[in-house]
Amino acid sequence: LTRTEAEQLLAVLRPKLSYLRRVIERMEQTGFAPDDEVFRLAQEAAEDLQALTAELHGLMVRGNVWRRP
């Protein structure tokens, strides 16, 4: 990825992560059981999306965005 591509990807992913976090919060408020499969998968998706955005951000800060072969 170029720096521009990484920035564009982050611009798309961050709002989606924010939305997913709000959905999880609403699920908690409405009483979803901790072992509910949809609730569990939403939490896992948020964790994975957070890891991806953090990694992309870190690569950009360090200037280590991927180079095309």
**Band (68; pLDDT cuts 50, 70, 90):** low
φ, ψ for residue 44 (rounded to 5)? -65, -40
pLDDT for 57: 87
Q: Which helix (H) or strand (E) holds 16?
A: helix 3-29
What is the model's pTM? 0.82
Q: What is the pLDDT of residues 25-57, one digit of tens each?
A: 999 999 999 999 999 999 999 999 999 999 888
